[in-house]
Structure 1
Amino acid sequence: MNNFILTEQVVTTLDVSNLEFEIGITLPEKYKEHILRFNGGCPDEKDCFKGKVIAHFYPIKYGKSPLEKTYDRIKDLLPNKFLNFAYDGGGNPFCFNLNDGINYGKIYYCPMDMGEVEPEFLANSFEEFMNGLTEDCDY
C-alpha cells in the first residue's frame, strides 16, 4: 500500500456525506475509505499511473484547495458528473465518471490545456487505479 504525505486534517464520515449531498453525487466506496484515511496529500513513493504523474490528491475539506471548492470552479469544463479527485503538475485533473450505469467509478485523465477536454480512460475503478500506481513513469 502506498503511503501519503502532506495530507490535511482528518475528516469524518459525516464530512464525506456532506460533500456527497452538496455535489449531488455518490462517491465510490473505495475512494471514501481512502479519504477517511488520507484527506488529500501526495503519494509518498508510487505516484505514476500509465505515464501520468500525480502531483496531489484534493482533500475533501480543509487546506487551500479542498475538493468542495475546486469542483465548483471546474465542473462546467468537465463532462457531466465527472469529479476531479487529484491533479498532475500542470493542474490537469484525474476524475471519476460518476454517471449511473456501467461507467460509474471509472477513472479518467482530463487534460485541460488544449481547449475542449477530451477525457482519457485510465482505470475501471479507484482500487485498480491505486493498485496500478508505480514509481516509474515510463509507460
Structure 2
Amino acid sequence: MKFLEVSKESTETELKEVENQLGISFTNDFKEHYMEYNGGCPVKRFFLWDDGAKTRINHFFSIKYKGFSQLEDAYDDLLITEQILPVGFLPFAADDGGDLFCVSTLPGSYNEVFFCDMHHYDDEVIENCVTLVSRSFKDFIDNLVDE
C-alpha cells in the first residue's frame, strides 16, 4: 500500500514519546505503518463495507509532525476535551464527512479497527456510534480498495 502527501516518517523513539503523552500503547501494526507512512492519503482510498458500499478516506492523521491533521490533537480534542469517543479508541483517519476510523487500545479489542459515525453520536451511549470494521489495523490497510 502506498500513501501520498505524508509527513516526515515517525521514529520508534518519537512514537514512544507520543504513547507516553497520550497514556496508551500503539499496536505493532500501527507502529510499523507510521514508521513507513506518517499520515497522508492512501492511494487506495476506499473502505469496502460488507454490503458493497464504499467510504472514501480523506486522510490519515500524522503523528508528531503537522500534516492534514495531527493525531495527538485529534485524540486530545475527541477523547479528553469533548469526550466524544470511547476511552481506548485512537482516531487515525477521517472520511470525507468527518466520520472517523479508530484503532482500539483496549485489552478486549486491542488492534481492532472501528468506524465512528459522528452523525449518529449519542452522548448518553457513546458506543452506539461505533462499528467494528476490521480485526486488525494491518488487515484494514491491506483491504482498502480503489474507486
Query: TM-score, normalised on structure 2?
Result: 0.85
Structure 1 residues 31-51: Cα deviation after superposition (integer angstroms, max 9, x where no partner): 10110111100012x111122
Q: 1:82-93 residue pairs with structure 2 within 5 A? A: 82-93=89-100
Find the partner of 2:115 among 99, 109, 117: 109
What amino acid is aligned across from residue 46 of structure 2 in structure 1?
C
| Structure 2 residue 9 is the aligned partner of structure 1 residue 6 | no
For 1:125 and 1:16, the matched residues in 2 are separated by 19
Correspondences of 1:1-139 after superposition (within 5 Å): 2-44=1-43, 46-50=44-48, 51-63=54-66, 65-75=69-79, 76-101=83-108, 103-116=109-122, 117=126, 118-136=129-147
Q: How many residues align?
A: 133
1:2-56 CA distance string (max 9 Å, x none): 1100101222111100111111111110110110111100012x11112221110
Q: Deviations over 1:66-98 (max 9, x none)?
A: 111111001110012111011101121100121
State the identity as a percent: 34
Long gaps (5+) in structure 1: none
Structure 2 residue runs of 5 or longer lacking an equivalent are 49-53
- TM superposition outliers: structure 1 runs of 4+ over 6 Å: none
> In the TM superposition, what is the alpha-carbon distance from 1:114 to its structure 2 partner?
2.7
Distance 1:57 1:115 in 2: 21
Distance 2:25 2:137 in 1: 14
Root mean square deviation of aligned Cα: 1.2
- TM-score, structure 1 as length reference: 0.90
Q: Secondary structure at the match of 1:27?
A: coil
| Paired position in structure 1 for 2:51 | none
Aligned counterparts of 1:34 and 1:56: Cα–Cα separation in 2 = 14
Q: Would you tell me which structure has more helix in proportion to its own residues?
A: 2
